[in-house]
Structure 1
Amino acid sequence: MHAFTMSGYSRATTITHWIVAALFVFMLLTGFLVPYLPDTVSYKWIIRESHESFGLLVIPLVLVRLAIRVITGAPTKSHDVPSWVFWLSRAVHIGFYVLMFTLPITGYLVALPYGIAFFNVYLINHLPDSLNALLWLSREPDFYLAGLASYVHTIMAMTLVSMLALHVIGALLHHYPNTIRSHSV
């Protein structure tokens, strides 16, 4: 029994899924590792800049992924799947898309006072004046905003880990329904 009536996701959707998934696993690992490395460790800054650089790649990749998803569609609900499972799956997917956009934005705000490096090329070190005015910020580096963004970024990353766990469990239950059912008590 499969949870969805359509035969599955398109090849393009599957490829972008795994590229974005690998990127987010890398981002989570490096994001949780860097704060625990002493500042004297030389590779800490390489890891940090890699985290920032790949973080900047996330939004364009997610836009491509979303466009492919809109064009190719998603499998529809099968009648043999409980409604709550279907809606939980949809909620997790919507949550993923929200986090795939907001995590890079908050990460950008965290790094902004220190300068944004994209693969060792420094791009900017402050928001454009028009955005500063819109957000009532000064042109000077805003460490308060960076601190607040860091807190939100961390909470969202932990939320992403929880959602990934739900996603993996759901994928396993979907992919191996008879195996899991035969091992249950």
Structure 2
Amino acid sequence: MTRPATPSTRYTGFAIFMHWLVALAIFCIVPLGAYMHDLPLSPTKLQLYSYHKSLGICILLLVIIRLLWRYGHKPPALPASMSAKEQMIAHAMSHGMYLLLITSPLTGWLMSSFFGKPVVVFGLFQVPDLVAPSEDMGKLFATLHMLSNFTLATMITLHILASLKHHFKDKDDVLARMLPFLARNR
């Protein structure tokens, strides 16, 4: 039996909120991107692309806010039960996911800019194009966007599996410290 996650071993409420808000956005944008990609050109496809781009810009902004918050608020230490290797992997995965959570929307924004397709956030405002149009660069950034998304999806899957392993096998508080409704482990 493990000890309850205490406030000093838990993330702050704001960090937990931001984590799950970004997770929700990711769980919306990934299936949306996969679904819309192979649709025939239609008003529906264009609307779905618009939603996808809007969510991407929102994710980029949320991740930047989360990183700024994290810069001033040290996360709780990993449990002492984790080996040095496990802690190194956890830190590498965290940094890698943050990098990809910035890279994926940026490559999408650059791709849209290179293709000369505006990014209008939920019909409210248009973000500026980052570069001049270039079909060849648009194709390159389409590939980079796809690769970063597949890599991010893989890392998120590993992140979820590792969290479940910690909760059910290791019975430590790694998962409890990020769940808003789980005050303690089993």
Q: What interval of TM-score do these two structures reach, taking the shorter chain for normalisation?
A: 0.7 to 0.9
* Bigger Rg, structure 1 or 2: 1
- In 2, Cα distance between equivalents of 1:46 and 1:126: 19
- The amino acid of 1:37's aligned partner reads L
- The amino acid of 1:9's aligned partner reads Y
The 1:149/1:48 distance shift into structure 2, 3 A limit, reads same
Aligned to 2:58: 57
1:119 equivalent to 2:122? Answer yes
- In 2, Cα distance between equivalents of 1:10 and 1:31: 31
**TM-score when scaled to structure 1?**
0.80
**TM-score when scaled to structure 2?**
0.80
- In 1, Cα distance between equivalents of 2:127 and 2:85: 46
- C-alpha displacement of 1:64: 1.4
The 1:74/1:38 distance shift into structure 2, 3 A limit, reads same
Aligned to 2:145: 153
Higher mean alpha-carbon deviation, 8-17 vs 31-40, is at 31-40
- C-alpha displacement of 1:80: 1.6
Q: Are the counterparts in 2 of residues 115 and 122 from structure 1 also a CA contact under 8 Å?
A: no
The 1:121/1:78 distance shift into structure 2, 3 A limit, reads closer
Greater share of helix residues, 1 or 2? 1
Aligned to 1:117, the other structure's residue is in SS state strand
Aligned to 1:136: none
Aligned to 2:9, the other structure's residue is in SS state coil
Query: What percent of counterpart residues are identical?
Result: 25
1:27 equivalent to 2:19? Answer no
- In 1, Cα distance between equivalents of 2:97 and 2:112: 22
Aligned-residue Cα RMSD (Å) equals: 2.2
Q: Are the counterparts in 2 of residues 52 and 118 from structure 1 also a CA contact under 8 Å?
A: yes
| More relative contact order, 1 or 2 (CA 8 Å, 6+ apart) | 2
Q: Are the counterparts in 2 of residues 49 and 117 from structure 1 also a CA contact under 8 Å?
A: yes
- C-alpha displacement of 1:124: 6.0
Structure 1 runs (4+) greater than 4 angstroms displaced: none
- In 2, Cα distance between equivalents of 1:17 and 1:51: 19
1:142 equivalent to 2:145? Answer no
Aligned to 2:10, the other structure's residue is in SS state coil
1:88 equivalent to 2:80? Answer no
- In 1, Cα distance between equivalents of 2:109 and 2:45: 18
Unaligned runs of 5+ in 2: 172-186
The 1:124/1:67 distance shift into structure 2, 3 A limit, reads closer
The 1:33/1:81 distance shift into structure 2, 3 A limit, reads same
Unaligned runs of 5+ in 1: 133-138, 180-185
- In 1, Cα distance between equivalents of 2:153 and 2:65: 23
Q: Are the counterparts in 1 of residues 119 and 127 from structure 2 also a CA contact under 8 Å?
A: yes
